[in-house]
Each structure stands twice: as structure tokens, then as C-alpha cells.
Amino acid sequence: MHTQLDDREALFDTEPPGLASRLVGLRPYQPGTTPYEHPEEPPFVVFAGDRGRGKTAVLHALREAYRGHTPTALLDGEERQFAAPPPDRPDAAWSPVVQALTTAAEQLAGPVKGAGRIGFPRLSCGLLAVAAGGWSDRDAPRLRQEAERVLLLGGGESWLPGFTGRWAGKVGSRLVASAGGTGAVVEPVIEAALEAFTEGVSTAHRRLRGAASWYGDYPNADGSPKLALILLSRHFRAGGHGRRHAERHLVRALLADLDDAYAGVVQRSHRRGRPVLLIDNVQEPAGLGLLEPVLRDRADGIRDQAVFFAGLRGRTHPALRNAGRLDLPETARTTGWRPGPSPSSRALLVSLPAGAGHTPA
């Protein structure tokens, strides 16, 4: 069970259901379901306050409450992994948001009672295109290892050795056939991947084919998955607005993959509640890079069913200027939250009472 209820009943209560139960659709620490307060679109809940208010402790308690019952991930925007790329990764193919998406997907794919592992084929295709932007024709020996790391998120491991072997061979052939020594290998990598997806007959191959096609509506791609992924890689490498545009599509890909895991009668019968993403220190680049695209897409009518709880150092942020505001005790029975037209109105700032994160001795 959770710790010290007296400061957190509004969040963790089960009868009547508290805020977490009503948004996730599951009672904390148990498989019992709860009706959704916001069935069409949950608010992006941000716990706001200065240091010592217990934001981190509350997020960790939420992870323990739902991990193993529904897909759950916890990120901290201040972690070192989001500060800079690893030594073997160039800046052109890395960002705090890409690292956050990869980390979140790995956790969300963890085991859940009564349900299969979630795959992220859309996200895998996008991350492969981004990674290719950092490779050159001199990196051929490590292409296979890098691709396996990304494509593991697509779901399933048994198909990978054969796939990556064929894919690496196709990339090599295209490099030899090209002018050679020109550096970037984005187009050969994407061409080879799409061809290898088409040749495979496993479930994973079919999912990746569909995932690549999903990118067809990327701006100026004219329905072409190949052109879409090349453009996404190009925009990411450009930095600035172009990178933010590409990252928004990658965030959307993660959420679309999550929605797929709940699609259909059979899937819904095995999965109860909504997936939970927890982001501590959301004011940092890794956190804002997830928060802002989600709020913008929801304001634009692009729906998802993920439940976000975040921790914000301070009491406000420019990205949250029109967010709803409540103290935690005021959320005990209902939030009364209604989104407006602006992206930031899709969020709900919740102030924690002093001591909300304390645990009993």
C-alpha cells in the first residue's frame, strides 16, 4: 500500500475514488477499475511547487501504485542521461527528447499482468531515421548494432537477427552502389529498412510496414513513407524549429503506438485503465519536449488516452499560462476541469500541500 495517506487522500483514495483512480481508470495498487472522470481527454496533471513539497515522492508513489497493472514509465528531466549524448552519438542524431522517448518506451514495454508486451513500431521507424542522420559511410560496421537497439522497441526479439542481417547487407550494397565517401547514409538506411520490412512475413514486419506508412501524412511527403522519414531526419538534423517539428511527430508516434495497444475488443479485454507517464522536473528540456507537443496535439484535436502526471519546480511556467489551477485537496471528488482553445489549457496545475511527500517512520 502507499505511504502516509493523510496528505494524499485526494490523489490515492479508492472509495470514493481519488484523482489518480479517476484519470487512470484503475485503483492504486490493485486491479479494480474505476469510471473515468474525463473519458474523452484527461488533463495533463502538473504538480507544482517549490523544493520540499514532495513532488518527486508523489511521482514515485504513483509508479509503485500502477507498475505491473498498466504500462507505466517514470522520467526525471534532471537525470544525466538527458543532459548530453553518449560519447559515440553525434549531436545531429540526439536530443533530450529522443532520449526521453526511448527511455519511456523501454519502461512502458515492461510486463503487465494479463497483457502482452507493447511494441512501438512507429516510434522505432522514426528513431531509426533520426539515428541514421548521425551515421556516415565510415560507420557501416556499427549500423547493425545501432539498428537493433532502436528496432527492439518495435516489439519482439526473435525476428531481429535475421532482419538486421538482411538490412545491413542491403545498406552495404547501396553504399557501394552510391558515389561512396559522401558521408550521410540516411537515404540508403531508410530504403534498405523499408525493403526489408516488405520482405518479412512475421507480425513484427507487418507492424513495421504499417508504422512506416503512418508517416505518409508528414508535411510535404505526399504519402511516401520513404520521403517522410528522410524529411523527418533532415528536419531533426537542422535543429531549431525543424527539430521541434520532427520531435513533435516522434512524440505523436509514441502515443499512437500506445493507442494501438488498446485497439480492438480483444486488446481492451486484456488491458484495463490507461497507460501512465510520469515526468519529474518537467521544466527541463526533456520534460518540456514531451509536455508541449502533447498539449499542442490535444488542442489540435489529435487525441490520445495516456495519463500524464508531472512535477514542476515552481508554481508556473510560460508553457502552462492558461492551465487550470487547483490545490490537491480540491481534486478529491472532481476536478471540474474543462479545456479551452489554447494548448496550455489542456493542463491542470495542482499545488501539493506541505508534507505531501513525507513517508512514515
CA–CA distance, 273 with 69 (Å, rounded to integer): 8
Q: What is the pLDDT of residue 357?
A: 52
Q: What is the pLDDT of residue 268?
A: 54
Give yes or no for a contact between 294 and 305, defined as CB atoms under 8 angstroms apart. Answer: no
Give yes or no for a contact between 277 and 306, defined as CB atoms under 8 angstroms apart. Answer: yes
CA–CA distance, 278 with 67 (Å, rounded to integer): 11
Q: Would you write out the chain's pLDDT as a tens digit for each of its 361 residues? A: 344 434 678 999 988 999 999 999 999 998 889 999 999 999 999 999 888 789 999 999 999 999 999 999 999 999 999 999 988 788 899 999 999 999 999 999 988 887 878 889 999 999 999 988 887 766 666 666 777 778 778 776 555 666 666 666 666 666 555 544 445 678 888 888 888 788 776 777 788 889 999 999 999 999 999 999 999 999 999 999 999 999 999 999 999 999 998 886 445 556 889 999 999 999 999 999 999 999 999 999 999 999 999 999 998 999 999 999 999 999 999 999 999 999 999 999 999 987 555 443 2
Helix or strand holding residue 24 (H, E): helix 19-24
96-108 helix and 285-299 helix, angle to the nearest 10 degrees: 80
CA–CA distance, 59 with 280 (Å, rounded to integer): 7
